[in-house]
Amino acid sequence: MAMMARTIRNSASRRTMMMSRPIFGLRSMSSWWKNVEPAPKDPILGVTEAFLADPSPDKVNVGVGAYRDDNGKPVVLDCVREAERRIAGTSFMEYLPMGGSVKMVEETLKLAYGDNSEFIKDKRVAAVQSLSGTGACRLFADFQTRFNPGSQIYIFLFQPGPNAQVPQKTYHYYHPETKGLDFKGLMDDVKNAPEGSFFLLHACAHNPTGVDPTEEQWREISQLFKAKNHFAFFDMAYQGFASGDPARDAKSIRIFLEDGHHIGISQSYAKNMGLYGQRVGCLSVLCENEKQAVTVKSQLQQLARAMYSNPPLHGAQIVSTILGDPELKSLWLKEVKIMADRIIGMRTTLRESLEKLGSPLSWEHVTKQIGMFCYSGLTPEQVDRLTSEYHIYMTRNGRISMAGVTTGNVGYLANAIHEVTKSS
């Protein structure tokens, strides 16, 4: 028994010594991430979190970037419901190719380039399915970095991601005094940019300002781009949702195509089909010929392979089902116009309500701007008052999501805005 006790004590002692002795090359488990700092809070998501935590029955959220009906509720379009019903009868769960759904891409290109586009017929467009518009921008940023190293992109707002390594410069766009387009500043920056520069342009319903160039201004921009040999990369997240007419919303792109530009386009279906969580989009690049398009597509696919391998299936099935069926596409066109018209109607009502209250300020920009967002001109201090005194939530730059404005809260919103701005 004594010998057994000594053996147990010796074994325990050896284990203790082994546990306390540092093992060469192995760092303390608690030190792996000690240098990681908290990331800054997302300003938009922070608005929603604060809104949800507010117990006030009068609270209003005009910060959310998703469509709501006139009752403030999320919407699933009837065309989407019918597409889902048809898809439910299939059991295809395989990976999509790296380039995504061929049918979805084909139908998406028709929306941007036109149903009878010569570029599509001549197979000059290199295109792949992307992870919505954000993914398309990131994919193009990596493509630009790889094949135009050292080039930069001129932006108003662009977040390609921390690893894209694309040098960025800003160009003038929004005029804070007129709350409209700074066309002279924009043209000066385009003119003064080094020849062959990349520019990110919003095709319609500019986010966050809601300020779009006129058709004539787009033509002038296109001509100056041509003279400077600049490359235009269009982000088109609101086709159909801006005016209610997809062809009208693609006019800027069609102008550039008519003028002979080789362009890039990011498209997505979050806003105009309500497919926010499906993350379905498309990146396309117009090339010189079919051979070049095949080459460019192969490189886009290789970049996508390293990022996410294959794009998601379900959203692509919904889009291709809707756009590939004349009846469902017709239904979608009606529904997207209903969404656009509601937003346009709320702009008119908000402006009229402010004017009836006797506001000393001009609110003409509310109806001149277009799309989901209104750059109100409110200062951060005025936004803070709206939140603290009236429980109205928006980003501190004064951007109002018109999707959050309803017939039930527009009067309350107008009165609150009037109260915090009437002394301006």
Please provide the average confidence, as pLDDT, over all residues in the chain. Answer: 91
- Which range, of 17-26, 144-153, 224-233, 240-249, averages the lowest pLDDT? 17-26
Contact between 173 and 182 under an 8 Å Cβ cutoff? The reply is yes
pLDDT at res. 26: 53
Query: What's the angle, vertex CA 390, arms to CA 384 and CA 395, rounded to 5?
Result: 40
Which tens digit of pLDDT belongs to each residue from 350-384?
999 999 999 999 999 999 999 999 999 999 999 99
Token couple for 418? 């009037």
pLDDT at res. 164: 54
Which tens digit of pLDDT belongs to each residue from 125-139?
999 999 999 999 999
CA dihedral 125, 131, 132, 133 (to 10 degrees): -70
pLDDT at res. 42: 83
Domain extent listing, the chain: 43-76+340-422, 96-324
Residues 6+ apart with CB under 8 A from 314: 87, 278
Inform me whether the pLDDT recorded for 19 exceeds 60: no
Q: By C-alpha distance, which of 280, 279, 225, 240 is closest to 105?
A: 280
Which tens digit of pLDDT belongs to each residue from 94-136?
999 999 999 999 999 999 999 999 999 999 999 999 999 999 9
Inform me whether the pLDDT recorded for 161 exceeds 60: no
Domain 43-76+340-422 sits in CATH at 3.90.1150.10
Inform me whether the pLDDT recorded for 159 exceeds 90: no
pLDDT at res. 17: 47
pLDDT at res. 31: 82
* Domains 43-76+340-422 and 96-324 agree in fold: no
pLDDT at res. 162: 46
Percent of the chain beyond pLDDT 90?
Answer: 84
Please give the C-alpha separations between residue 55 and each of 51, 59, 394, 395, in angstroms, as whole numbers. 9, 8, 17, 19
Q: What is the mean pLDDT of residues 294-322?
A: 97
Q: By C-alpha distance, which of 167, 340, 321 is closest to 248?
A: 340
SS3 state of residue 68: coil
More confident position, 227 or 168: 227
Q: Ramachandran region of residue 174, left (φ > 0), alpha (ψ -120 to 50) or beta?
A: beta
Sign for the CA dihedral angle at 169, 171, 176, 177 comes to: positive
Please give the DSSP secondary-structure letter assigned to residue 69: -
pLDDT at res. 190: 97
Inform me whether the pLDDT recorded for 30 exceeds 80: no
Answer whether CATH 3.40.190.10 is correct for domain 96-324: no
Inform me whether the pLDDT recorded for 41 exceeds 90: no
Inform me whether the pLDDT recorded for 7 exceeds 50: no
